[in-house]
Amino acid sequence: MKIYMETYGCQMNVSDSGKITHLFAEQGYSLTETSSDADLIVINTCSVREKPELKIFSALGRYIPLKRQRPELVIAVGGCVAQQWGDKLLKRCPGLDIVFGTHQLDSLPDLVAKVRQSRRAVSVTEFLKCPGGLEVMAIPAAGTVSAMVTIMQGCDNFCSYCIVPYVRGREYSRPSAAIIEEVGKLAQAGIKEVMLLGQNVNSYGLQEKNEISFAELLALVHDISGIERIRFTTSHPKDMSDALISAFAELPKLSPYLHLPFQAGSDTVLSRMGRGYTAADYLEKVEKLRRAVPMIALTTDIIVGFPGESEADFQKTLDMLEKVRYDQIYSFKYSIRPGTRAAGFEDLVADEEKRERLARCQGFQDEISQEILAAQVGSVSEVLVSGPSKRGAGEWSGRTGENRIVNFPAPAGIQVGDLRRVKIVTALKHSLKGEVIT
Ligand code: 5AD
Ligand code: SF4
């Protein structure tokens, strides 16, 4: 039997797809790269913005007709769109067999067996106290040095624009003992870098009685031998505690890199977004972080054209870019998410204006990103070697602790997972070129 997986959206979805593949591998399925020879097609969806949400309908338009030649084919849709639509998705897309919610990942093998027997479509999307699937391990592919470990799921923040609390449910943190056990197994399997994942990792443990804090969890992961680097995503500025900031200075394996979404530079917009901080509060955290780790690299998420955002408000977003100097930004035009608080806000920004602000924001950031990369030339960085570069030409590739990509001519004896000192010789548009110091 063959399974074909299609994944949209965030790293959490990528990790969930890895878990699904693992569950079906245990049932004898192998992964196929082509939908046309699959016995099972699973689409893992994202609804955080309108654009990824719409992808599901064109995907189903491609896959459902495959059933004419292969009536035994089973098609399942999971993830955030599945959670939001539930059985309405079955009605809208005849031929779709399974809709499974964000808490039902581990039920998918049973649902597939049921559908094979009954040939009746099913939808299961209720929220559970403890989301199913969190304890399923995503087995990293052979030859990879990094692995993702989900430590929490859901979000209690209810930012006014965001669909996540409605489709991932309330915050739930996995028991720290289970996380430590999983990271230990990964280290034994040769993994050198772990990425701790969740919608709001820095509020880890706050909702569970007797659980440790995120900073304490990092210290425990740090003690696991074999793990050389720790990263985490994504964080909320209001939960950047002093203890967590100190962890960056105290734990050498914690990479000097942080994704810290600020979303908007104007306090009026931030307040209507319900973010719980001002631009000054955010900048104060950045200052503390840079005091703890002067070279820390920062990235962020930005929404442009939130309802009521004036040109002067938008300028404050550009001011933030100038003040913080991010390595990279992920910027999006605001899109209405039905059911969220902001869906009822007036004073919408015209699409043309949003597009123009997005282009200005990205153009401004491109210059900063370029300057940051150029400033690395001549420096020496420790690079975690990930393997031959996609660009070929005998080059290998890796990342610095700051998460910058470095390509370099491969010296004899180099191996995936090595930590090598590399002298940076050239800055390209999105990456660096270097030479390994032997
Ligand atoms: N419109 C545009 N961008 C959004 N994001 C979340 N919700 C919306 C929305 N309604 C962005 C935020 C978040 C990232 C994952 O997606 O910047 O941090
Ligand atoms: Fe959405 Fe806000 Fe939660 Fe992030 S913190 S997932 S933006 S509600």
Q: How far is the CA of 234 from the centre of ligand 1 (A)?
A: 13
Distance, in Å, from the CA atom of 170 to the CA atom of 177, rounded to the nearest integer, reads 21
Which residue's CA is the closest to the ligand 1 atom numbered 13?
301
> Within 189-310, where are the H helices?
214-222, 242-250, 267-273, 279-292
Residue 49, ligand 1, Cβ within 6 A: yes
Q: How far is the CA of 240 from the centre of ligand 1 (A)?
A: 20
Ligand 2-lining residues (CB < 6 angstroms): 155, 157-159, 162, 164-165, 199-200, 236
With 0-12 CB in 10 A as exposed, 13-18 as middle and 19+ as buried, what is 189? middle
Average pLDDT, the chain: 96
Relative to the CA of 342, which ligand 1 atom is closest?
10
pLDDT tens figures, 297-328 = 999 999 999 999 999 999 999 999 999 999 99
Residue 48, ligand 1, Cβ within 6 A: yes
Q: Provide the CB-side half-sphere exposure for 252 (13 A, CA).
A: 2
Closest listed ligand to the CA of 158: 2
User: pLDDT at residue 53 above 90?
Assistant: no
Closest listed ligand to the CA of 10: 1
Cβ density class 119-129: b for 16+ within 10 Å, e for less: eebbbbbebee
Rounded alpha-carbon distances, angstroms, from residue 150 to 12, 185, 247, 291, 395: 7, 14, 20, 29, 32
Which region, left, alpha or beta, applies to residue 407 given φ > 0 means left and ψ of -120 to 50 means alpha?
Answer: beta
pLDDT tens figures, 361-385 = 999 999 999 999 999 999 999 999 9
Q: How far is the CA of 334 from the centre of ligand 1 (A)?
A: 7
Closest listed ligand to the CA of 273: 2
Q: How far is the CA of 324 from the centre of ligand 2 (A)?
A: 21
Residue 305, ligand 1, Cβ within 6 A: no
Which residue's CA is the closest to the ligand 1 atom numbered 7?
162
* Structure tokens that stand for 394 in this block: 């005998």
Instruction: Report the SS3 class of residue 124.
Output: strand
Rounded alpha-carbon distances, angstroms, from residue 58 to 16, 65, 82, 92, 286: 22, 12, 15, 13, 41
- % of the chain residues with pLDDT over 70: 100
pLDDT tens figures, 69-128 = 999 999 999 999 999 999 999 999 999 999 999 999 999 999 999 999 999 999 999 999
Q: Which domains does the chain have, with CATH numbers?
A: 2-124 (3.40.50.12160), 140-255 (3.30.750.210), 257-375 (3.30.750.200), 380-436 (2.40.50.140)
Residue 301, ligand 1, Cβ within 6 A: yes
